[in-house]
Structure 1
Amino acid sequence: MRHPHLAAIDATTWPGVARIPDGRLVDLRARLAEAGFARACSAAGLDLDPAGTPDLVVENEALFPRLAVSGWLGLAESFMAGEWRSERLVDVLAALIATGYRPRTRLPAPAAYDGGELPAELVALSAGDGLSAFGGVFASGVPTTVRTAVPNHAPGRGPDTYFIDLQTFTEPVGVDREDLGDAQTRSVTMLLDAARVTAGTHLLEFATSGGAVAIQAAHRRATVDTLTADPAQARAVGEQLLLAGVEPSVHVSVIDSPVPGPRDWRGSYDAIVSVEKLEVLEPADRVRQLRAFDRLLSVGGHVAMQTVTATDAMTPAARQALDVLRAYVWPGLEYPSVEEIHKLVDKESGLRIVGQAHVGSHHELSLELQRTQFEGHMREAAAAGFDIAFRRLWVYQFALREALFRLGMLDTVQFTLTHRNRQGRR
């Protein structure tokens, strides 16, 4: 039986949202899930009393069988179904994660990442520059750089430690929504500077960031190859390049796999840039990506890679909360720690990290501005074909990631890499 409140949900597109779990065993587990949710809200200091000013309002008890069967994914799908709501969504998610709320669940493994990218029409509804889905760096952040020794995770390849330039930024202040575009542009500028991109540089971007990196690099008179496994993304980027007047300097190519192997792409590049791609790749593809950078980077060249990382504060509850992103947005998503990235680079490639800039507080604010901008464009999103379930999902994913940054469980790092020795590794 189709429930009335789910009438607007397309069962073909959203089978997990359109169907409420049922059955005698589910009913029993739902009662336990309801009690567990109430305890978690109480421990988190969340008010559920509709007579007052509640932090969240449960509109339909279908929330509880979803929690019983799918845990945090069920919580998100219930939000997508309109079964609960909150005017303080980021606060609610942060409070539940902080209190360690972790309903028991067993979910099937998500599908493998196939290289698909976010639709350009969707990104434009929340991007400050109309192109970028990634975090920015605001002008009010003050950088500090120190030389820091880090362990060498590749035994037999050099000394036990080596030095990197470790850069941190103060939190942004006095920022409003109009500053988002400038912040995202500054993030690209930092990456291009780290990769030493100037006039005449031959630059590879993987995967394409929607045009932002390629356009700014072309304005520096670099020659750019930008790769994607998503044909729709390639067409969208081509249109942006044409509008920006840089099409002759940028070549957009579609490859057949999420990561360019030797048969997919060959060449030698002075610089390589990658923006928030490593964290959405499955472990085996992360190795392939680092080896591809190693293979394609010319001697003396540099890689600049912006990646969202997990901090030591990351908890099992937080990782479980990310189930919805793996189910509906980025199938391979798993935020690596900075140490894991260092080990990956040292052990699986001939590259070495030489610079590391931490900008997590700026990414947190970027997400807040992207979320509020998207919420202000709900009608435009509907007109663009994004249905009610998708619109709620998109608000939820912004709020969830913002909550994790607020809790200090996520950080954003720009890594600079170069070959470990002058000969490189061909």
Structure 2
Amino acid sequence: MNFPVTRRHSVERRSAAQAVDATRWPHVATPPHASRARAAVAEAVVRGALARLPLRVHLAGGSQLGLGGPLLNIHDPDAFYRRIGVSGLVGFGESYMAREWDAPDLVAALTVLAGHAADLIPGPLQRLRNVWALRQPASQRNTPAGARDNISRHYDLSNDLFALFLDESLSYSSAIFRGFPATWQRLETAQHNKIDRLLDLTEVGPGTRLLEIGTGWGELAIRAAARGARVTTLTLSAEQRDLARARVEAAGIADRVSIELCDYREATGTFDAVVSVEMIEAVGEEFWPVYFQTLDARLAPGGRVALQAITMPHDRMLATRDTYTWIHKYIFPGGLLPSVEAIDSTVQDHTGLHTVRRDGFGIHYAETLRLWRERFTERADEVDALGFDETFRRMWTFYLAYSEAGFRSGYLDVQQYLFTKGASSAGSTTRDAGRQLGGSGR
């Protein structure tokens, strides 16, 4: 399925009462058909789950569910149950896009759901997951050709769109704040804190040969080159490459930075340091060994690798790794979040790298996402002017809120790893960078 958005074309704004554009959003415009039996089972399961949660669920018609907490309004219960019965979590997200349910505090409601992700579905149905859960399509496998398409569908949407809600550094990964509360005015500094920390871990300085896997819009490469490093940075997004090149040229360091439209598997050369920031999430489980083997192969003996990765609990990764979700369909096709255990075992079994340290700082990502979401909401008119309609805005708002809720609930975390190549370190260390850098953020 192609991403259902027309890029850079102006569209008429619609009121919330108007229908979803069926040409752009065929699976959102009309709820799927469900047999009576399937719809009845879905309603029973969903009502049972909501009744046990610390939520206040108001259904059209006056009935209520939940134990009290954040409010969730279901405007069209029949469509809501049908979508979930046919499409599971894909249907849950599409129902929000279709305005069939809403929440005054969307993050709070989704945080409750994320915190109970493991027990929302009854045990007997969990064991039958392979029967009822949607499976990831083969077309989203992250082969070299598939990865290019998957990356393009997200990152080639529009540089102007991302610039509307990211800070001036155009960093699209978790910042690290020096204290809380996090504010928009502090975000760019916090993003530089994150980048500098990665460059410090890998000891990047004058003359360092640095490979970056996943360019983004070039901020890490720019800061590394400013230290005197010679940087080769790889991306599969043509939009990102073009803007990153322009930013590098504007910074006057084009002689020290090479930006290549290149799959990580095609990388060549030997480097003193390798950095990869939140790129492993797009690799796919079957290619994790190749990804880490590439880090190992490209690194000179005695070199250092810094990796920033979003992680999820290992048991949930195992349970859901083949499931096709709303995020796969609309935001990150082919993606899968690893667990700490999966990273550790892949590195140990497939490389000569040694884990020196790992720092977790999930609450910093929750705050980063909050700032992005608030900025995106504030600039809704400018999003419209770029040609993205109201359904797209609801989709993107749901994505940012859904992600933030994952970190606030503790279901998701983000890690910075340091790996070395050569003699094993005396022992790895694990730290909570959230506490280390000052403040829980709650």
TM-score interval, normalised by the smaller of the two chains: 0.7 to 0.9
Q: 1:399 maps to which residue?
A: 401
- In the aligned structure 2, how far is the partner of 1:197 from the partner of 1:176? 29
1:319 shift after superposition: 7.5
- In the aligned structure 2, how far is the partner of 1:5 from the partner of 1:84? 13
Letter in 1 for 2:168: D
Q: 2:193 aligns with which of 182, 186, 193?
A: 186
Residue 265, structure 1, aligned to residue 267, structure 2: yes
Aligned ranges 1:57-206 → 2 under 5 Å: 57-60=73-76, 61-99=78-116, 100-102=119-121, 105-110=132-137, 111-113=140-142, 114-115=147-148, 116=151, 117-119=154-156, 120-140=159-179, 173-206=180-213
1:408 shift after superposition: 1.4
SS at match of 1:248: coil
Aligned ranges 1:17-32 → 2 under 5 Å: 17-22=28-33, 25=35, 27-32=36-41
SS at match of 1:291: helix
Letter in 2 for 1:122: L
**Residues 314 and 340 of structure 2 are in contact (CA less than 8 Å); yes or no, is this contact kept in structure 1?**
no
Residue 34, structure 1, aligned to residue 43, structure 2: yes
TM-score (norm 2): 0.79
Aligned ranges 1:227-376 → 2 under 5 Å: 227-255=234-262, 257=263, 259-260=264-265, 264-311=266-313, 314=316, 323-376=325-378
**Residues 40 and 96 of structure 1 are in contact (CA less than 8 Å); yes or no, is this contact kept in structure 2?**
no
Q: 2:3 maps to which residue?
A: none
SS at match of 1:125: helix
- In the aligned structure 2, how far is the partner of 1:33 from the partner of 1:5? 27
1:340 shift after superposition: 1.6
Cα deviation digits, residues 10-59 of structure 1 (max 9, x gap):
44443322332125x1x442243234323322211322337799712223
- In the aligned structure 1, how far is the partner of 2:335 from the partner of 2:95? 21
- In the aligned structure 1, how far is the partner of 2:337 from the partner of 2:92? 21
SS at match of 2:171: coil
**Residues 72 and 321 of structure 1 are in contact (CA less than 8 Å); yes or no, is this contact kept in structure 2?**
no
Q: 1:414 aligns with which of 413, 416, 428?
A: 416
**Residues 225 and 252 of structure 1 are in contact (CA less than 8 Å); yes or no, is this contact kept in structure 2?**
yes
Letter in 1 for 2:136: A
Letter in 1 for 2:95: S
Letter in 2 for 1:361: I
- In the aligned structure 2, how far is the partner of 1:10 from the partner of 1:78? 14
SS at match of 1:353: strand
Change (3 A) 1:20 1:67: same
Change (3 A) 1:370 1:95: same
**Residues 218 and 249 of structure 1 are in contact (CA less than 8 Å); yes or no, is this contact kept in structure 2?**
yes
Indicate the structure with greater helix content: 2
Runs (4 or more) in structure 1 with deviation over 3 Å come to 4-13, 49-54, 102-105, 311-322
- In the aligned structure 1, how far is the partner of 2:394 from the partner of 2:320? 20
Q: 1:384 maps to which residue?
A: 386
Change (3 A) 1:286 1:320: closer
**Residues 138 and 186 of structure 1 are in contact (CA less than 8 Å); yes or no, is this contact kept in structure 2?**
yes
1:67 shift after superposition: 1.0
Number of residues paired by the alignment?
A: 380
Letter in 2 for 1:112: R
SS at match of 2:415: strand
1:347 shift after superposition: 0.9
Change (3 A) 1:396 1:320: farther
Change (3 A) 1:178 1:313: farther
RMSD, aligned α-carbons: 2.7
- Show structure 2 runs of 5+ residues with no match: 1-14, 425-442
Cα deviation digits, residues 202-235 of structure 1 (max 9, x gap):
1111111221211111211211111112222211
- Show structure 1 runs of 5+ residues with no match: 141-172
- In the aligned structure 2, how far is the partner of 1:6 from the partner of 1:317? 39
Q: 1:14 maps to which residue?
A: 25
Letter in 2 for 1:217: A
1:302 shift after superposition: 0.8
